Copies of this chain bind each other. A is one copy, B any other.
Amino acid sequence: MSVNGVRVHEKVLTLDTMNPQVKSVEYAVRGPIVQRAVQIEKELKTGIKKPFTEVIKANIGDCQAMGQKPITFFRQVLALCSYPDLLEDSKFPEDAKARAQRILQACGGGSLGAYSASQGIEMIRQDVAQYIERRDGGVKCDPENIYLSTGASNAIVTMLKLLVSGEGACRTGVMISIPQYPLYSAALAELDAVQISYYLDEDHCWSLNVNELRRALQEAKSHCSPRALCIINPGNPTGQVQSRQCIEDVIRFAAEEKLFLMADEVYQDNVYADGCKFHSFKKVLFEMGPQYSEKVELASFHSTSKCYMGECGFRGGYMEVVNLDLDVKAQLTKLVSVRLCPPVPGQALLDVVVNPPQPHEPSYSTFIKERSDTLSALAEKANMTQEILNQIPGIQCNPVQGAMYTFPRIHLPPKAIQEAKEKAEAPDMFYCMKLLEETGICLIPGSGFGQREGSYHFRMTILPPKEKLMIVLAKIQEFHQRFTAQYS
C-alpha cells in the first residue's frame, strides 16, 4: 500500500481484515448527522459564522442534556452513598439518609466502590421485584428473575446473544418493528442473526397489527428459524402506546408460533394521550391465565434513563425474565458474570427509582411535585409538537401518545429525491443534513429507523424546553417551506 508515493506498513487490522459483522452494523442515532453536529458546534466556538448561534440536538432522548432537572431526592441519595461522611450532615433529609444507609449496607464493604453480585445487589433486586408487583396489581415477581444491567441496551443485547444460534437457513430470526430503535438492528447484525421486519401501521397511529406479524413470520420461515419477537411499548421512535387488546393478541401469537417475547418497556411512565394507559406484558400475560402465564417466555426491560428521571448517564436498568428455562438461566448468570457487574451507582439510583419517598416521609411532596412537573411538561410538549407539525403542509404526524419522540412523515419533492440519489444519500438524510446546516437543528432521518419504501420521516425528541421547542418547530416549518419551494 502506498500513500502519496510513500510505502506504508500494511496494518494487521484493516477494513478488509476486521470482523465483517461489526462492519455491517449501523446506528443512526449517533451516526454521520450527529458527528457533523458536533463538528458544527466546534466551528461555532472558533467563531465561524452560521445562520444560527447554537446547535439544538433533538436527535436523542437525552433528557438532562435538554435541561430536564434531576429528581432532588435521587441525587441526594447518590451524594450520600458516594461520600458517606455526609450522613452526619443535617442538611440532608432523614429519608434520603435512610435510603443511602440501606443501600450501603447491601454493598460489599459498605461502599459503592465494591463489585456487586453480577446479577445485581440482592436487596435492590428485591426492591425491583416489589416495584413490579405494585405496578402489575399484585402479580408475583421473584427477585431471582431480576437482572440489573448497564442501561437497558446492555440487557437487550445479552438476551439476544443467548437466543442466537444456527447457520444458513437455520440462523435465528428475530422479529422487530419497522420503524425500530436501531439498537435492535445493530445487535442482530453484530450477532449475525436474521432481522425479520414487521411494519407498524402509520395510518392507524403506528399500531401493531397481528396480521402483519403473521405475514412477516411466514415470509421469514423460508430462510431462517424465527425464535423471538421484540416489541417496544411505548414506541420508539413512533410514540404509540399499545392497547391491552393488542398486547393480548401479541402474546397469543407468540404462544402459537413459539416465539420468545422481548418487551422493551423503558418508557413505561411516559404516557400522555387521553385514554392511553401503559400495560406491562408481564401483567397481561398473567391475566390471560396459566395456559399463557406458565408457558410464554418473556424478557422485559426497564431503565433509569427515561420516564421522569431521565438519568441516562448513570446507565442503570434491569431485565425481568419469565418462564426462562432454568439451565439457560444459569448460562445467563454465567454470561453476565464475565463483565463482573453493572455500575453500582446506577444500581443505587435504580433502587431509589423503584423505592421512592412515601407519603409519610419528608421528601415526599417535593418528589411528587418534581415528578409531575416533568411529566406534565412532557405531555404538553407532546401535544404541542404534534399540533404544530401537522399545520405544516407536506408534514403529517401521528399523536405522540407516549415515549419522547415524534416520527412525522415528510413529503419530499421528486427533484430533491433525485438530487439525494445522485449523491448516494437517503433522501431523508439529505433533508436532515440540509436542515442541520441551515438551522442548527439536529434530527435523525427515518431511514435510520426503517420505514416503508418510498416514505420519508424524521425522528425528533420532544425534550427541548417549551420555548426552545417552539423555536425549533418554527424553524422546521420555515425550512420545510423553503426546501419544498427550492426543489419544486
* Chain A residues near B (Cβ < 8 Å): 9, 11-15, 17-20, 22-23, 25-27, 29-31, 38, 60, 62-68, 70, 75-76, 78-80, 82-83, 86, 89, 91, 107-109, 111-118, 150-151, 153-154, 157, 161-165, 182-183, 186-187, 190, 227-228, 258-260, 294-295, 297, 309-315, 323-325, 327-328, 331, 334-335, 337-346
Contacts A64-B114, A114-B313 known; A13 to B108 CB distance under 8 Å? no
Of B17, B31, B323, B344, which contacts A314 at CB under 8 A?
B344
Q: Indicate the member of A20, A86, A109 with the most B CB atoms within 10 Å.
A: A109
User: Which of A13, A14, A22 counts the most chain B CB atoms within 10 A?
Assistant: A13
Question: Apart from A113-B311, A186-B338, A314-B344, what 10 extra A-B contacts exist at CB < 8 Å?
Answer: A11-B328, A22-B161, A22-B335, A23-B331, A25-B334, A62-B109, A79-B80, A113-B310, A313-B345, A343-B345
Residues in B with CB closer than 8 Å to A15 are: 325, 327-328, 331
A to B CB contacts below 8 Å, 11 in the list: A12-B227, A12-B228, A13-B162, A13-B163, A13-B324, A17-B165, A19-B161, A31-B337, A111-B313, A116-B313, A315-B340
User: In the assembly, what is the distance between CA of A89 and CA of B338, in Å?
Assistant: 41
The minimal Cβ–Cβ distance linking A14 to chain B, given in whole angstroms, is 5
Nearest chain B CB to A309 CB, angstrom units = 8
Interface pair A115/B312, CB less than 8 Å apart: yes
| A310 CB contacts on chain B under 8 angstroms | 113
Contact B65 A115 (CB under 8 A): yes
Q: Write out the residue numbers on chain B whose beta carbons fall within 8 Å of the beta carbon of A187.
A: 338
Q: Are B83 and A113 in contact (CB under 8 A)?
A: no
A111 to B183, CA, bound (A): 24
Q: Give Cα A310 to B108, complex, Å.
A: 12
How many copies of this protein are present in the complex? 2
Q: Hey, which chain B residues are within 8 Å of A17, CB to CB?
A: 165, 227
- A343 CB contacts on chain B under 8 angstroms: 150, 313-315, 343, 345-346
CB–CB B313/A344 < 8 A: yes
B113 lies within 8 A of A260 (CB): no
CA of A118 to CA of B339 in the docked complex: distance in angstroms? Answer: 19
Closest A-B pairs by Cβ, 6 of them: A65-B108, A313-B344, A79-B83, A30-B337, A65-B114, A64-B113
Interface pair B19/A162, CB less than 8 Å apart: yes
Q: Identify the closest chain B residue to A35 (Cβ).
A: B333
| CB pair A62 B114 closer than 8 Å | yes
Residues of B within 8 A of A334 (CB): 25-27, 30-31
Closest B residue to A313 by CB, please name it: B344
Set B62, B82, B294, B345: member contacting A108, Cβ < 8 A: B62
**Complex CA–CA separation, A287 to B66 (angstroms):** 46
- Neighbouring B residues of A309 by C-beta, 8 Å: 113
Docked pose: A258 CA to B161 CA in angstroms: 31
The reply to whether B339 and A153 contact each other, CB–CB distance below 8 Å, is yes
Query: A113 to B308, alpha carbons, bound, how many Å?
Result: 12
Supposing A338-B187, A345-B345 touch, asked if A114 and B312 sit within 8 A by C-beta, the answer is yes
Determine the distance from Cα of A165 to Cα of B63 in the docked complex, in whole angstroms: 38
A109 and B63 alpha carbons, distance in the complex (Å): 9
Q: A62-B115, A65-B115 are in contact. Are A312 and B328 (CB under 8 A)?
A: no
Q: Which of A86, A114, A325 has the most CB of B within 10 A?
A: A114
A112: nearest chain-B partner, CB-CB: B313
A19 to B164, CA, bound (A): 5
> Which residues does chain B contribute within 8 Å of A11, judged by CB atoms?
297, 323, 325, 328
Q: Which residues of B contact A79 (CB under 8 A)?
A: 79-80, 82-83, 86
Q: Which residues of B contact A62 (CB under 8 A)?
A: 108-109, 114-115
Judging by beta carbons under 8 Å apart, are A297 and B344 in contact? Answer: no
Contact A331 B22 (CB under 8 A): yes
